Each structure stands twice: as structure tokens, then as C-alpha cells.
Amino acid sequence: MNKEGNYCFKITDFEKQNFKTQQKINNVDFNIEGLISGNYWINAFRGKKNIDINLRIEYKRKFLCSRCLEKFVEERNIYRKVEAVENVNVSLPFEGQKINEEEDENLIYFDGETINLYNILKDLIVLDEEMKLLCSEQCRGLCPVCGINLNKNQCCCTVEKSSKNPFDILATLDDK
Ligand SMILES: [Zn+2]
Ligand SMILES: [Zn+2]
């Protein structure tokens, strides 16, 4: 299986002014947990020594809600400007690979005829998960006492639940 088919470009493609393309992101190629499908768009400008690549990634992925721990599907967008520089130094890592952490994370190298965006695409999608995601802004999360999912069930635990209206308790007392 060729993992890099849709992610490699000929440098000569970028010779054209304002090179644009849309490509599929195949979940099998990326092996990222929960990734369902996606597309990415390139809008590239060739400079003298470098290529400016405007990347837009749109993908669907199953995430875990950080409050109620339920899985949910969300469509997300990433925009990133990447600069590709010709690799003139032999000691640099191989083509398309992200260079070490102290250097600009939006800088990638290409070598010779082709440029490979596989690694940068994968990095961007993987890093996108690190932010806390919620299934909904109104997610009530789990009861801190019994652990029940408060979006689906109610429990009788006596701790004050921040998301619950305190007047509910008064109302039940009035009934007695
Ligand atoms: Zn949730
Ligand atoms: Zn409870």
C-alpha cells in the first residue's frame, strides 16, 4: 500500500502561480484513532528559495467528550501556513519530516523533485486533539459521586450539582 500517494507533490506543480488542489485524507493512511474521513486544500505560492503553502484541513473524527466521556463525531477545520524550504544541508532530516522542536513547527523541508505533506498533515490532526472537546456546551458531565452520565440519567446523590438548578430541591420539599 502506498501511504504517500495523495500527499506527495512534484515541485514543478508549484512553479505555477497560485497552485491550488483539493485532496482526500484517507483514514487508513493516517491510522489516527477515531478519524473517519477528511479533505485538505492547498494554495501554494512559489518563492525563490521557498514555497508558501496555505493548508486547510477539514476532517470528521470521533472524539471523547472530556466532561461525560461519551464518544461524539465532530467536523473540524484546521488552517495553517506552512513554509517549505529546499533541503541544502545533508544533515537535515528526510523530506517532509518535521524538524526538531526548537525550530519553527511550520517549516518543512523538501529534497529534489517532490514534496511530501503526509507528516505535517498527520501532525496537525493529531495535535488538534489535545484541546479539550465537549460533546455539547451544555454537557452536564458525570455525577461526581455515582459516576452516572447526567445527560442521560438523574441520580439521587445529595451533592450539589453545579449544573442543576438549586430551586429544584426546594420545589420537591414543598411537595411534601
Ligand atoms: Zn459530554
Ligand atoms: Zn449520582
User: Tell me: the pLDDT tens digits for 20-47?
Assistant: 999 999 888 888 989 999 999 999 988 8
Residues 29 and 115 in one domain: yes
Polymer length of the chain: 176
Expressed in angstroms and rounded, the spacing between residue 60 Cα and the centre of ligand 1 is 17
Residues 87 and 27 in one domain: yes
In a domain, 67, yes or no: yes
Top-confidence range, 2-16, 90-104, 143-157: 143-157
Residues 144 and 104 in one domain: no
Expressed in angstroms and rounded, the spacing between residue 143 Cα and the centre of ligand 1 is 12
The b/e string for 132-142 (b: 16+ C-beta within 10 A; e otherwise) is ebebeeebbbb
pLDDT band at 163 (very low <50, low <70, confident <90, very high): low
Expressed in angstroms and rounded, the spacing between residue 22 Cα and the centre of ligand 2 is 49
Which ligand places an atom closest to the C-alpha of 145? Answer: 2
Quick: pLDDT tens for 129-148. Answer: 777 889 999 999 999 999 99
- Give the span between the Cα atoms of 122 and 30, in whole angstroms: 7
pLDDT reading at 80 higher than 90? yes
In a domain, 3, yes or no: no
Which ligand places an atom closest to the C-alpha of 135? Answer: 1
Residue 57 one-letter amino acid: I
Which cell goes with 150? 447526567
Tell me what the pLDDT averaged over the chain comes to.
Answer: 81
Query: Which residues span the domain enclosing 172?
Result: 140-176
Expressed in angstroms and rounded, the spacing between residue 152 Cα and the centre of ligand 1 is 10
**pTM of the full structure:** 0.72
Residues 6+ apart with CB under 8 A from 133: 63, 64, 65, 66, 74
Mean pLDDT for the stretch of residues 169-173: 51
CB 133 within 8 A of CB 68: no
Expressed in angstroms and rounded, the spacing between residue 131 Cα and the centre of ligand 2 is 27
Residues 35 and 91 in one domain: yes
Which ligand places an atom closest to the C-alpha of 158? Answer: 2
pLDDT reading at 3 higher than 60? no
Q: How many domains does the chain have?
A: 2
How confident is the model at residue 43, as a pLDDT? Answer: 93
- Give the span between the Cα atoms of 176 and 165, in whole angstroms: 19
Expressed in angstroms and rounded, the spacing between residue 136 Cα and the centre of ligand 2 is 20
